[in-house]
Each structure stands twice: as structure tokens, then as C-alpha cells.
Amino acid sequence: MMSAPVALPLLDRRTVFRHLFLSIFFLGLFIFLNRPEVILISRLGSVVWYPATGLVFALLLGVNPRYAILVSLGGALAGKMIYDQPLSTFGETIGAIGISIFYAIAAHDLRGPLRIDLGLRRRRDVVLYVSLTTLAALGATFVGVICLAADHDIRRREFWPAALGWFLGDEIGLLGIAPFLLWKWKVLHPP
């Protein structure tokens, strides 16, 4: 006997479509922000600034840390589409997942136990935001640069310069782009 299809309630359908739209919009913008013209890349592993990290962290902190799965997918897609990296490399697998995990943990802690105001209006919120995002950037930097070295995209002597460049690029996105996006999110979605 065949059972009738279960219809989603209208609210659940709206939520699903909203998350689907947000996911598609995020992936499109994330891939655009990975273009070499946007990130000022001199070569793989050497980036002047990386605004996509600000977008990533605004999504994870402003919406939900569970979007880390989408962030990992976006990192792998951008590597394949823009830089023609094979999906089986360390950077496209372990790197994409590891980087998003560090930022998801920081977003989870800032949303949950530490409960900061997304508008960063209090000194406490700013200090916690800067501290946790910096720790997450350090973790993401080492995962990313170790993957670059394991994939032979950088030489051994380029490890520390690449790490410094990666870290500073992420910090610019985290401290310059993410707070602006979080502020916009808070204005558009008041409590």
C-alpha cells in the first residue's frame, strides 16, 4: 500500500526556502570573493587580504555555526573552479573542513556561552570577538598552510611567510568585513 506524501507546513517550507536561498547566495558571493582580482593573490599561499573570511564568519556568527558544512563546500568549490585544484588534495579536503571548524567553534562560543552582542557595542564584546576570531584565525592559518605544504604548493622555506600572509589576510576580513556584515544583519533582523 502506498502512503500519501507528507506535506511540509507552510512555515517549514518558508524556512527551507530561506535557508536554500541563503546558501545559494552565500556560495555565489563566496566564490566571487575568492577570485584573484578580489583577494590580491600573488601566488597560491600568498594573499594580501581575504574578504571571504569576513563573509564566512558573519554567516557562522550571525546566522548559525552549522553553516560550516556549507563553508567547507564553498572552499572546495572555489579551489576547484578558480584555481583548478583537484578535489582530492589536502587543501580541498582536510583544509576546507579544518578551517571551517575553527571558525564554527569561535562562532558557537561567541553565540552561546559567551553571548556577545552582534553590534559589538560593549568593550567586553569587542575584546571577546577579537580574541576568539584571532585564535580561530591562527588555527585556520596553520591548517591551511600545512595543507599547502603537504600539497607542495609552497616550499618549506615559504611556510612562515605564507602563514603570516594567510593570518593577516584572514584578520583583515575578520576585523574589517565581518563586523560590518554583522551590524547590517542586526539592523535588518532586530531581536
For 93-131, how does the pLDDT look when each residue is reduced to its tens digit (9 = 90+)?
999 999 999 999 999 999 999 999 998 999 999 999 999
Res 10: pLDDT: 58
Cα separation, 51 vs 169, in Å, equals 8
Res 185: pLDDT: 67
| Among 190, 187, 169, residue whose Cα is nearest residue 54 | 169
Mean pLDDT (whole number) for 33-37: 86
Question: Would you place residue 13 in the very low, low, confident or very high pLDDT band (cuts 50, 70, 90)?
Answer: confident
Res 49: pLDDT: 74
Give 117-120 contacts, CB < 8 A, sequence gap 24+.
118/61, 118/62, 118/182, 118/183, 118/185, 118/186, 119/182, 119/183, 119/186, 120/179, 120/182, 120/183
* pLDDT tens readout for residues 58-99: 999 999 999 999 999 999 999 999 988 898 999 999 999 999
* pLDDT tens readout for residues 45-60: 566 678 899 999 999 9
Q: Whole-prediction pTM value? A: 0.86
Cα separation, 76 vs 86, in Å, equals 9
Question: Would you place residue 38 in the very low, low, confident or very high pLDDT band (cuts 50, 70, 90)?
Answer: confident
